[in-house]
């Protein structure tokens, strides 16, 4: 096994500059040749983001092993083609948990347990053990937050020490900063970068590469200036350009010379394979038609709450050579049909995504009904599928007030009910049905055709399920449960064969969608929506 090389990515000036995408794009230039393992270090004290509000923190990304992590892991998986593990996400919550347990066990007997060397030592050990376990060629470590934040200091200190442990030839430090072009000044400004790099150098880290996020390609002049002030070569200052499509970033990085910097710093061969990637990016740019897909939910004020869904739609656009515009529809106050009609005007397809709790639910159910009756392509994800079952039970099976017990525990018709093993759980963190679960698909179903396989799996994050007591009634009226758990107890997929595309999935197919390989159920939705745009299905 070759010795692991380490790439440390830090950020400066402000948050939201796209450190996750920058990190994933660096990895993208390496992953065709090397085993690149991404690691994310977060400063917060939560053990994981599973209990955080998506409006505050963006979507919760679920891994195969059931780990709940933040959306940067989505970028890593989509850009690096890896399936990440929960252990690759360090949070200060996890780190202090371990330190405290070690101290109680007596691992530090006689010593004062200190931030340095004990906590920083633990962080480095964590990195080394991942590198060893995964036989990583490259460990790509993103340090969350911005340099200067108190909560990330210990990771930065561990990163500084790292070069002493593994040798300077085996570590590369990348720093993402901001180069504004202020309104009216029309000039790229370097001061925020100078100050943020100074802060980093105060902490003992001199970056090998500075990525300046900017609305324009960085000029030679500004590169020169940053190089002088920050003590790097001019060639090591590259543009992190604002883009309409994040998949362009690896291509831009390559043009800006990132491969060369990687080669020189880490002493490895770098031969990115961007052929198919570039072709797909081109497809997106040349798209003649655009389909409009409504995402109907309650976290619509922050697009990041639905980041993976938006990406899954983009992947389909690249493969179907069409633009896909996600249109957010807030369902909270939506009850009457006129309202729904106006919201869904010019919409080609609808997604009701995952969700929790009662707010906006009746609006979602009305939208689902509208899609079912008017042949509008529909994909229900997790809660979206559960609510499609509620709608069908109420309006087709005639089960008055049918509901999920999440909303009405006393409903006469609990068509969606809590899993028996979930009933006794009292802790909220990490206790849902989480992670990947297999399903067996029904041959000849639409869903089987889309997956092209009998045995499939998707990632889950929920507590409720279709109540088996109602399966027969639902089937009698036309629902096909096209995928069941291998023991045939849980309904994992459903569809309505009489409809052009009315599909539900208890898992979250968006989490496994890749740029090179879109998620089948999204592909089906966008393809049918595109066809509908061409032919126009008749309204019933």
Instruction: Please give the residue ranges that form the binding site for ligand GLN (CB under 6 A).
Output: 354-356, 382-383, 406, 461-464
Q: 177: which strand partners? A: 212
Rounded CA-CA distance 127/162 in Å is 10
Residue whose entry in the numeric block shows the structure tokens 């639910």: 361
CB of 384 to ligand GLN, least distance (A): 7
Q: What DSSP state is assigned to residue 424?
A: T
Nearer to ligand GLN, 406 or 458 (CB): 406
Quote the least distance from Cβ 464 to ligand GLN, whole Å: 3
CA distance 467 to 491: 9
Is 382 one of the catalytic residues? yes
Secondary structure (H, E, C), 214-258:
ECCCCCHHHHHHHHHHHCCCHHHEEEEECCCCHHHHHHHHHHHCH
- CA-CA distances (angstroms) from residue 471 to 1, 53, 413? 52, 33, 12
Residues 6+ apart with CB under 8 A from 381: 309, 351, 352, 353, 354, 504, 505, 508, 509, 510
Contact, 448 vs 474, CB < 8 A? no
* Residue among 315, 460, 462, 508 flagged as catalytic: 508
Q: How far is the CB of 513 from ligand GLN (least distance, A)?
A: 16
Which is closer to ligand GLN, CB of 50 or CB of 524? Answer: 50
- Whether the ω angle into residue 490 lies within 30 degrees of 0, i.e. cis, is no
Please identify the residue of the shown chain whose CB is closest to the bound ligand GLN.
354
Q: How far is the CB of 352 from ligand GLN (least distance, A)?
A: 9
> Which CB sits closer to ligand GLN, 98 or 407?
407
Residue with Cβ nearer ligand GLN (54 or 144): 54
In the complex with ligand GLN, the residue whose CB is nearer, 189 or 463, is 463
Catalytic residue among 134, 311, 458, 510: 510
Q: Measured from the CB of residue 350, what is the shortest distance to ligand GLN in angstroms?
A: 16
Catalytic (active site) residue 491: no
DSSP line for 255-319 = HHTHHHHHHHHHT-------HHHHHHHHHHHH---EEEEEEEES-TT-GGGGHHHHHHHHHHHHH
For ligand GLN, the closer of residues 88 and 464 by Cβ is: 464
Q: What is the DSSP letter of 129?
A: H
- Residue 510 annotated as catalytic: yes
CB of 387 to ligand GLN, least distance (A): 9
Sheet arrangement for strand 464-466: 403-404, 414-418, 464-466
What Å distances lie between residue 136 and 75, 139, 216, 456, CA to CA?
19, 6, 35, 28
Q: Which of 322, 382, 397, 505 is catalytic?
A: 382
We find the least distance from the C-beta atom of residue 466 to ligand GLN, in angstroms, to be 10
Indicate the angle between helix axes 120-133 and 153-166, nearest 10 degrees: 60
SS3 81: coil
Distance CA 331, CA 336 (A): 11
| Closest CB 123 distance from ligand GLN, rounded Å | 32
C-beta closer to ligand GLN: residue 160 or 462: 462
Tokens of 26: 């660096």
Give the residue with the Cβ less far from ligand GLN, 256 or 510: 510
For 368-397, give the DSSP string: HHHHHHTT--EEEETHHHHHHHHHHHHHTS
Q: Which residues are catalytic?
A: 382, 508, 510
């Amino acid at each position: 096994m070759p010795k692991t090389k380490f790439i440390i990515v830090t950020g400066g000036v402000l948050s939201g500059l796209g450190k996750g995408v920058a990190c994933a794009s660096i990895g993208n230039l390496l992953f065709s040749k090397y085993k690149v393992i991404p690691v994310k270090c977060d400063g917060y004290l939560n053990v994981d983001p599973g209990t955080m509000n998506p409006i505050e923190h963006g979507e919760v990304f679920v891994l195969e092993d059931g780990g709940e992590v933040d959306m940067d892991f989505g970028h890593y998986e989509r850009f690096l083609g890896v399936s990440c593990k929960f252990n690759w996400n360090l949070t200060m919550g996890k780190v202090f948990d371990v330190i405290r347990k070690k101290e109680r066990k007596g691992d530090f007997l006689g010593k004062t347990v200190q931030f340095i060397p004990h906590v920083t030592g633990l962080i480095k050990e964590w990195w080394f053990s991942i590198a060893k376990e995964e036989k990583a060629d490259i460990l790509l470590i993103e340090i969350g937050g911005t340099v200067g934040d108190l909560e990330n200091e210990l990771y930065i200190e561990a990163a500084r020490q790292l070069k002493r442990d593994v040798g300077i030839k085996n570590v590369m430090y990348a720093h993402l900063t901001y180069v504004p072009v202020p309104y009216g000044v029309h000039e790229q400004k370097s001061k925020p970068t100078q100050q943020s790099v100074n802060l980093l150098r105060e902490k003992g880290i001199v970056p090998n590469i500075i990525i300046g996020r900017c609305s324009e390609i960085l000029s030679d002049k500004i590169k020169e200036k940053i190089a002088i002030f920050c003590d790097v070569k001019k060639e090591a200052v590259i543009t992190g350009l604002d883009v309409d499509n994040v998949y362009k970033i690896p291509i831009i990085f390559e043009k800006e010379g990132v491969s060369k910097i990687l080669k020189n710093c880490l002493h490895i061969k770098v031969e990115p394979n961007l052929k198919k990637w570039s072709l797909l990016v081109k497809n997106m740019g040349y798209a003649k038609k655009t389909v409009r897909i409504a995402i109907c939910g309650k976290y619509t004020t922050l697009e990041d709450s639905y980041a993976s869904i938006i990406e899954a739609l983009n992947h389909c656009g690249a493969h179907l050579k069409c633009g896909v515009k996600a249109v957010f529809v807030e369902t909270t106050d939506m009850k009457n049909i006129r309202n729904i009609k106006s919201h869904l005007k010019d919409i080609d397809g609808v997604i009701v995504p995952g969700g929790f709790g009662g707010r906006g639910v009746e609006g979602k159910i009305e939208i689902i009904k509208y899609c079912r009756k008017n042949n509008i392509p529909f994909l229900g994800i997790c809660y979206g599928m559960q609510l499609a079952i509620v709608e069908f039970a109420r309006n087709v099976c005639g089960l008055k007030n049918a509901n999920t017990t999440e909303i009405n525990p006393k409903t006469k018709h609990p068509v969606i009910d809590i899993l028996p093993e979930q009933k006794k759980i009292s802790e909220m963190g990490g206790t849902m049905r989480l992670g990947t679960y297999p399903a067996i698909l029904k041959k000849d179903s639409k869903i089987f055709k889309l997956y092209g396989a009998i045995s499939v799996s998707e990632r889950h994050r929920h507590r409720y399920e279709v109540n088996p007591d109602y399966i027969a009634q639902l089937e009698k009226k036309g629902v096909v449960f096209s995928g069941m758990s291998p023991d045939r107890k849980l309904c994992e997929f459903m569809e309505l064969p009489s409809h052009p595309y009315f599909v539900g999935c208890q898992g979250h197919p968006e989490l496994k969608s890749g740029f090179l390989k879109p998620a089948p159920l999204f592909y089906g939705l966008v393809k049918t929506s595109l066809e509908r745009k061409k032919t126009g299905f008749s309204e019933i």
